[in-house]
A and B are shown apart, each in its own frame.
Chain A
Amino acid sequence: MDTPPLSGSDSDSDDSLVSDRELQDAFSRGLLKPGLNVVLEGPKKAVNDVNGLKQCLAEFKRDLEWVERLDVTLGPVPEISEPQPTPQSKDQKKAVNPEDDFQREMSFYRQAQSAVLAVLPRLHQLRVPTKRPTDYFAEMAKSDQQMQKIRQKLQTKQAAMEKSEKAKQLRALRKYGKKVQTEVLQKRQQEKAHMMNAIKKYQKGFSDKLDFLEGDQKPVSQGKKAAVKGQQMNKGPSAKRRYKNQKFGFGGKKKGSKWNTRESYDDVSGFRAKVAHGKVSKRPGKKGSNKRPGKRTREKMKSKSR
């Protein structure tokens, strides 16, 4: 059995609860198991030599003018958005949660603000300049290149935000426009059905009033229609539609559109070199599988085959 060192136990015997003898007794009685019985130290006491600190401070402190040191010790500017304007703002110091980044940074910001607000009048009194004149050129802590980079980044960020906002708005608008359009179409259908019923009734002789013909022009629906149409008209027919309209005509558009003039002769906009040489294939799968040779080539083939 490892006995604790005698010197140790002697010095501790006044303070510790068990002494050497008692340990041996306890072991013989079987309360202590063999092995290393480590004396547990109490929790470490942190050194806090208050007097030493104060003395050190007294020796080390330099009595400089305030202008040399420019230090301020102030709490942060109180928040504006406090619901209860209690007068005891000093005691009611809401402990800033260090995990909450925003709150923490805001508290630093406000502390700096209060310091600046307190100090500026004093500096003006002592005639220490705080504003840099516009023609005073000197080296800055960050180079111009760096500031340029920062500005670029801020600009791109702002542009991206604006773009996303616009896209969102457009999407919302489209949804709304679609909704309105369907509503209008439905209403039109209803009107039509109603009208047909009324006409049939009249034809069959159930009613002999022709009032339904006048009740047609409702200004409200036309106003809505115009608004919806306005939204739709901005986009107009799609590009595909426009191309087809242009190619196959759009109800009488073709009359007088082909003239054999110098301008039409000189106009080669409809010429596509690849198409002319037969290199463009409309079907990407089959390439030139059914390329019928020209007349000359066919005649040659015919004559050769014979």
Chain B
Amino acid sequence: MAAAKRKRRGVPATAAKKLKRILKDAGQPAKSPAVAGDVEEEEKDRIPGPVCKGKWKNKERILIFSSRGISFRTRHLMQDLRMLMPHSKADTKMDRKDKLFVINEVCEMKNCNKCIYFEAKKKQDLYMWLSNSPHGPSAKFLVQNIHTLAELKMTGNCLKGSRPLLSFDPAFDELPHYTLLKELLIQIFSTPRYHPKSQPFVDHVFTFTILDNRIWFRNFQIIEEDAALVEIGPRFVLNLIKIFQGSFGGPTLYENPHYQSPN
């Protein structure tokens, strides 16, 4: 198995250095200023670990899970999303017989405030729910054209858990339901700063574009400063069905007139 995990320098090393410094101080009080000075210089040269510079304030947690009966492609997509979003939590498959508002309770138990729920019907259609858990709005989409991270045509790569740049189409500002969706997408997909599992670099960009009354999602890696990009994947297309005022229920705020059920 090729070693996927490479050595990570950051917090453990600085902690070790601190220990050394304390021991040295205890041992040789006369020489301590010089030693401390050396150690500090070394620490300055080292790249700071992800957490030490700031405090994690934006407590956003996403629950990503699915119902039973999903295909392999959906499962891979779910795993890819979990990998790309370090502020996500996984859960076991839910039985489709349960009502949807049970999901709110699951979210509360896991202490999550957003949720992405994949629902597969008849082993063919995939529906995705995006919702803000306690009271907020939720939206149901039909997912099409799924391509996962593992496809060989997606040649880019990014750090696991690095923060994404989110790029939206100007069409998102034109209609009210799109502005609501934009806010929901921003809150879900942006990794909070100083999250313990995140990396401080911004090296990939998510694009959301509105085309043909659907939302197209792409993920690109930023190679050069002059905006040379390579696709990382995954990619999918969201076809909006409805927006509800409550989480997994409540009055319908918006219904997509262009949506046609796949059956």
The answer to whether A and B belong to the same complex is yes
Within 8 A of A (CB), among B136-165: 136-137, 149-150, 152, 154-155, 157-161, 163-165
Among residues of B, the one whose C-beta sits closest to the C-beta of A61 is: B183
Kindly state whether residue A74 has any CB partner on chain B within 8 Å. yes
Q: How far, in whole Å, are A136 and B13 apart by their CA atoms in the complex?
A: 13
Q: Shortest Cβ distance from A43 into chain B, in angstroms?
A: 9
Q: Is the pair A96, B4 in contact by a Cβ cutoff of 8 Å?
A: no
Q: Is the pair A111, B160 in contact by a Cβ cutoff of 8 Å?
A: no
Within 8 A of B (CB), among A137-153: 137-150, 153
Among residues of B, the one whose C-beta sits closest to the C-beta of A48 is: B254
Within 8 A of B (CB), among A35-85: 46-50, 52-54, 56-57, 59-62, 64, 67-75
Q: Is the pair B207, A139 in contact by a Cβ cutoff of 8 Å?
A: no
Q: Is the pair B254, A53 in contact by a Cβ cutoff of 8 Å?
A: yes
Q: Is the pair B169, A73 in contact by a Cβ cutoff of 8 Å?
A: yes
Q: Shortest Cβ distance from B114 into chain A, in angstroms?
A: 11
Q: Could you tell me how many residues of chain B have their Cβ less than 8 Å away from some Cβ of chain A? A: 76
Q: Is the pair B167, A112 in contact by a Cβ cutoff of 8 Å?
A: yes
Which of B8, B199, B255 is A47 in contact with, Cβ under 8 Å?
B255
Q: Taking A61-B183, A70-B163 as contacts, is the C-beta distance between A52 and B58 under 8 angstroms?
A: no
Kindly state whether residue B200 has any CB partner on chain A within 8 Å. yes
Q: Is the pair B4, A132 in contact by a Cβ cutoff of 8 Å?
A: no
Q: Is the pair B159, A138 in contact by a Cβ cutoff of 8 Å?
A: yes
- How does the 8 Å CB contact mask read for B197-212 relative to A, with 1 for contact and 0 for none? 0011111010101011
Kindly state whether residue B180 has any CB partner on chain A within 8 Å. yes
Among residues of A, the one whose C-beta sits closest to the C-beta of B4 is: A143
Interface segment out of the listed B17-25, B30-38, B118-126, B218-226: B218-226
Q: Is the pair B8, A71 in contact by a Cβ cutoff of 8 Å?
A: no
Q: Is the pair A71, B166 in contact by a Cβ cutoff of 8 Å?
A: yes
Interface segment out of the listed A102-110, A172-180, A209-217: A102-110
Q: Which residues of B contact A (CB under 8 A)?
A: 1-9, 47, 58, 83-84, 132, 136-137, 149-150, 152, 154-155, 157-161, 163-170, 172-173, 176-177, 179-180, 182-184, 186-187, 190, 192-193, 199-203, 205, 207, 209, 211-212, 216, 218, 220, 222, 225-227, 229, 232, 243, 245, 251-257
Q: Which residues of A contact B (CB under 8 A)?
A: 46-50, 52-54, 56-57, 59-62, 64, 67-75, 96, 98, 104, 107-109, 111-117, 119-120, 123, 128-133, 135-150, 153-154
